[in-house]
Chains A and B, each alone.
Chain A
Amino acid sequence: MSKHHITATVNGEAVEFLCETQATLLDVLRDELGLTGAKEGCGSGDCGACSVMLNGRLVCSCLVLGCEVDGHSIDTIEGVAEGAVLHPLQQVFLEEAALQCGICTPGIIVAAKALLEKNTDPSEEEIRYWLAGNLCRCTGYDKIIRAVQKAATVMREA
């Protein structure tokens, strides 16, 4: 048996997949589960485009093996909106034009959501350091930081 049979929970739903030892969680999400929202920008944990939540913690899915996640819970960008209702971060990113090409956006939204769940009123500096592992080459980060600040306000007032 050259592949591992893994069961896990992805975005609240039970999934099963087969994977080889070297396959990363990112490979599994994209190639086995059809969840292509997480992107591979570097494959070495330096860009954050593949950010997902693993058992409630923010990780780069390119630095997790698929076979590690047996029995674990994974949340991806595809699960951030609740049905047709966008998460406040998603809505604010749209309103504030906090994306240009959009390739880093899924990772940044997953990461920012993790921050706002821990800290409902982060400072600019806290947001910048929290997101330092999410590279964006288009925006210069300005609108991203402002969008996270605004989303925090929206969420606090909700």
Chain B
Amino acid sequence: MGNEENQYKVIGTRPIRPDGVDKVTGRAAFGADFSLPGTIVGRVLRSPHAHARIKSIDAKLALALPGVRAMVTGADFPELPDEITAGGEAPVNFRDVSHNVMARAKALYEGHAVAAVAATTAAIAEQALALIKVEYEVLPHVIDVRDAAADGAPVLHETMFTSGVEPAPKKPSNVAGRTEMGLGNVEEGFAAADVTVEREYTTQAVHQGYIEPHACVASVTTDGQATVWSTSQGQFMVREFCSRLLGMDRAAIRVVPSEIGGGFGGKTTVYLEPLAIALAKKSGKPVKMVMTRDEVFRATGPTSGASMKVKLGAKRDGTLTAGDMTLYYQAGAFAGGPAMLGCMTGFAPYALTNARAVGYDVVSNRPKAAAYRAPGAPMAAFAVESAMDELAQKLGMDPIELRLKNAAKKGTRAIYGVKFPEIGFVETLEAAKKHPHYSAPLGPNQARGVASGFWFNIGGQSSAAVHVNEDGTAEVVTGNPDIGGSRASMAMMAAEVLGIEYSKVKPTVGDTGQIGYSFLTGGSRVTFATGKAVCEAAQATVNELRARAAKLWECPIEDVEWKDGAAHPVGGQTDTRTVLSLAELAESAAKTGGPISGAVGINAAGAGAGFGTQICDVEIDPETGKVTVLRYTVVQDVGRAIHPAYVEGQLQGGAVQGIGWALNEEYVYDGNGRLDNPGFLDYRMPVASDLPMIDTVMIEVPNPGHPFGVRGVGETPIVPPLAAVANAVSRAAKVRLADLPISPPRLLAALDGK
């Protein structure tokens, strides 16, 4: 499996996705589309207060309502130790997860679950919620991240003492942790600079905005065996989280993944599933729970808003001498926002020998932040890439030239310590510079912005199984929900290795009982890590096919080579050794030892880092402050595009989410700490008429860590757009826009103030 051009039959083509017909005809079953006979409906009572002590919950009237079958509150869930658990996946504090899915002593944000009921109909369940009497003691609340970090702010958790500071604080605060990393000596670096830029930046909390609300059905038998059908980014994640939150064995919970209607990181945790299992256990009935959009906004996601300061220093020729950033990231009501990831990624595109990044993870009375596509990176990149643009203006340099002058290459040490392996950042800059977009003329009130971005991409544990069917077709089973066409990629890689047609391979996303453990769909890992597992499983299958041919030919396996989907005798055909196709070997499998399969479980290292550069043209209306995106180009190193159309789709979709983040999306709170825009009407995601076509340029610098050179592609594209848009607007407005979103009132005010 080398990497020369045109040597592949399937990789790099654009076949129709296997699940496509179901999705264009309405047959595909998403989270809310599943029901079992006798299913009852679960609904959640949510706190109307941003911060309140729960003094008592009286459910007598609710439970007396005909049709109500069960109710749960925090008292129904075991208390877990307050600790970060290192598992085979990202570190998680399961006590916090448990307290987030169901409040205990305090409600920490408006929308925090306080109780849940199950009833025979949704209407009865709603009525029951209204009958639950919760006595609250309303506490002072805090929403803004800087306010929350300040002395005297209302403290959410009496047990929170800032980690990462010496000596350890004696007073609890909302600052969960401080993190610092660096290279060289920043003070010396700035002393050596001819030019510096320094500025504060803010971004607002934004939601992942998947169109499918969270949904699940849970059924529990009298012997305690649970089955959960749910929409998530990982059936094994749901199983692990429910197992820990409810004190059940993994083997007692089977999780069946539905089709997933978008996640973007927001479905990497649980909200409803533990409640549904608990209600199903109590009621003896299957329980279905589906969130409303309002609940999705108030109680799930979003990603952190940020308050940041960045300083850059450079020589007259543009060589960066130092970079310094301080990030305050909203964690929501529980610790664990992505400030650390912001620190790691912000400066990553540049070869900086003197750099420092300090991050603060700050809790406030907002829903607990969840992962969102390259979590933590877009905000830091907004600040750094804006500073780079300002620096380019100050130096009178082209912004791409400035980036080229300082671009990270193979061997450059990133602030988090690692030297980059083979990466394609310079290639993205060169391609952007050469692109006709970059030299296209601009009209009045129009300007062009450029920004770059970095995301690590991850590997991790994946399982895959390939089964050869009796007729020579093949099954590929993996354990990762297909969030954007990955089944096509899995089938393509298997077909390539097996040497059979794509149409002969049927990919399936297995439930937790059908395939081995697989870390969730996230971190841009599936085509890389699960794809690697599929390649290895297919290769194991090929080896077994060769062994079967060797049996038939009565020769050592070394005398059998596999090409074009068939066993060939090394040294050519003879009377007894004629080429045996996969179909022929499949047909004779019973005679040669039984069914032919290959199954692997791997922990994939070697995820290639992702870099991208984006170009944005805008026009501003100086009288109203409205911004129109006129033209947009995404350039990214994608390693190897298995299915190029779906790779383009990732680049386009990520960029547009970033455009929304830059221009209009934000969580708006009222004075009582209640979310004021919990719907698509006023949480303004981009609509079709807001956008131009999104041009893409895929650079292929193969990742040596994957058999076909795959790099993750899903997250990098959301990193540059915040600054690409802001830089374009800042140039058009001739004033630096350092606060997102650049909504019309904000731009108009900036134009007035310049």
Touching chains A and B, CB distance < 8 Å: yes
Interface residue ranges, A against B (CB under 8 Å): 20, 22, 30, 35-44, 46-47, 49, 76-78, 80-81, 86, 89-90, 93-97, 99-106, 109, 124-125, 127-129, 131-146
B14 at the interface (CB under 8 A from A): yes
B26 at the interface (CB under 8 A from A): yes
Nearest neighbor of A104 in chain B, beta-carbon distance: B211
List of B residues within 8 angstroms of A46 by Cβ = 679-681
B652 at the interface (CB under 8 A from A): yes
Nearest neighbor of B32 in chain A, beta-carbon distance: A40
Interface CB pairs A-B, < 8 A, 10: A40-B32, A41-B293, A46-B680, A78-B27, A86-B25, A100-B485, A101-B483, A137-B657, A139-B652, A140-B655
Bits for B473-512, please: 1 = Cβ < 8 Å to A, else 0: 0000000000111000000000000000000000000000
Interface stretch of the complex, out of B254-262, B396-404, B415-423 = B254-262
Q: Does the CB pair A105–B689 fall under 8 Å?
A: no
List of A residues within 8 angstroms of B28 by Cβ = 102
Least Cβ–Cβ distance between B214 and chain A, in angstroms: 12
Q: Does the CB pair A132–B689 fall under 8 Å?
A: yes
Bits for B649-693, please: 1 = Cβ < 8 Å to A, else 0: 110111111000000000000000000000111000111110101
Least Cβ–Cβ distance between B127 and chain A, in angstroms: 12
Which of B20, B26, B32, B262 is the one whose CB lies under 8 Å from A106? B26
Nearest neighbor of A133 in chain B, beta-carbon distance: B687
Which of A35, A40, A78, A135 is the one whose CB lies under 8 Å from B685? A135
Q: Does the CB pair A140–B653 fall under 8 Å?
A: yes
How distant is the Cα of A143 from the Cα of B485 in the complex, in angstroms? 14
Given contacts A137-B210, A143-B645, contact A129 B689 (CB under 8 A): yes
Nearest neighbor of A148 in chain B, beta-carbon distance: B688
How distant is the Cα of A121 from the Cα of B656 in the complex, in angstroms? 26
List of A residues within 8 angstroms of B643 by Cβ = 97
Least Cβ–Cβ distance between B304 and chain A, in angstroms: 19
List of A residues within 8 angstroms of B262 by Cβ = 100-101, 103, 137-138
Interface centre among B19, B21, B649 (most CB of A within 10 A): B649
Q: Does the CB pair A136–B25 fall under 8 Å?
A: no
Q: Does the CB pair B212–A44 fall under 8 Å?
A: no
Which of B14, B679, B688 is the one whose CB lies under 8 Å from A128? B688
How distant is the Cα of A138 from the Cα of B680 in the complex, in angstroms? 15
Interface centre among B14, B26, B485, B649 (most CB of A within 10 A): B26
Given contacts A100-B483, A103-B262, A138-B262, contact A78 B26 (CB under 8 A): yes
Q: Does the CB pair A101–B212 fall under 8 Å?
A: yes
Given contacts A46-B680, A97-B485, A109-B24, contact A141 B213 (CB under 8 A): no
B292 at the interface (CB under 8 A from A): yes
B36 at the interface (CB under 8 A from A): no
Q: Does the CB pair A135–B16 fall under 8 Å?
A: no
Which of B17, B685, B687, B691 is the one whose CB lies under 8 Å from A94? B17
B190 at the interface (CB under 8 A from A): no
Main secondary structure of the interface of A (DSSP, over half): loop
Q: Does the CB pair B691–A128 fall under 8 Å?
A: yes
Least Cβ–Cβ distance between B558 and chain A, in angstroms: 42
Least Cβ–Cβ distance between A80 and chain B, in angstroms: 7
Q: Does the CB pair A100–B680 fall under 8 Å?
A: no
How distant is the Cα of A128 from the Cα of B210 in the complex, in angstroms? 20
Interface residue count on the B side (C-beta < 8 Å): 58
B209 at the interface (CB under 8 A from A): yes
Q: Does the CB pair B24–A90 fall under 8 Å?
A: yes
Interface centre among B209, B260, B292, B656 (most CB of A within 10 A): B656
Q: Does the CB pair A78–B25 fall under 8 Å?
A: yes
List of A residues within 8 angstroms of B687 by Cβ = 132-133, 135
Least Cβ–Cβ distance between A76 and chain B, in angstroms: 7
Nearest neighbor of B35 in chain A, beta-carbon distance: A31
Given contacts A41-B212, A137-B653, contact A101 B484 (CB under 8 A): yes
How distant is the Cα of A41 from the Cα of B679 in the complex, in angstroms? 10
Least Cβ–Cβ distance between B289 and chain A, in angstroms: 14
How distant is the Cα of A132 from the Cα of B681 in the complex, in angstroms? 12
- Pairs A-B, 7 closest by C-beta atoms: A37-B26, A103-B261, A140-B656, A102-B23, A97-B645, A77-B26, A46-B680
Q: Does the CB pair B20–A94 fall under 8 Å?
A: yes
B264 at the interface (CB under 8 A from A): yes
How distant is the Cα of A49 from the Cα of B208 in the complex, in angstroms? 17
B30 at the interface (CB under 8 A from A): yes
How distant is the Cα of A36 from the Cα of B258 in the complex, in angstroms? 14
List of A residues within 8 angstroms of B646 by Cβ = 97, 100
Q: Does the CB pair B19–A102 fall under 8 Å?
A: yes
Q: Does the CB pair B30–A39 fall under 8 Å?
A: yes
B694 at the interface (CB under 8 A from A): yes
Which of A49, A129, A131, A141 is the one whose CB lies under 8 Å from B211? A49
Least Cβ–Cβ distance between B653 and chain A, in angstroms: 5
B564 at the interface (CB under 8 A from A): no
Nearest neighbor of A78 in chain B, beta-carbon distance: B26
Q: Does the CB pair B260–A77 fall under 8 Å?
A: no
Least Cβ–Cβ distance between B648 and chain A, in angstroms: 8
List of A residues within 8 angstroms of B58 by Cβ = none
Least Cβ–Cβ distance between A58 and chain B, in angstroms: 15
Q: Does the CB pair B484–A100 fall under 8 Å?
A: yes
List of A residues within 8 angstroms of B210 by Cβ = 101, 103, 137
Least Cβ–Cβ distance between A48 and chain B, in angstroms: 9
List of B residues within 8 angstroms of A99 by Cβ = 20, 23-24
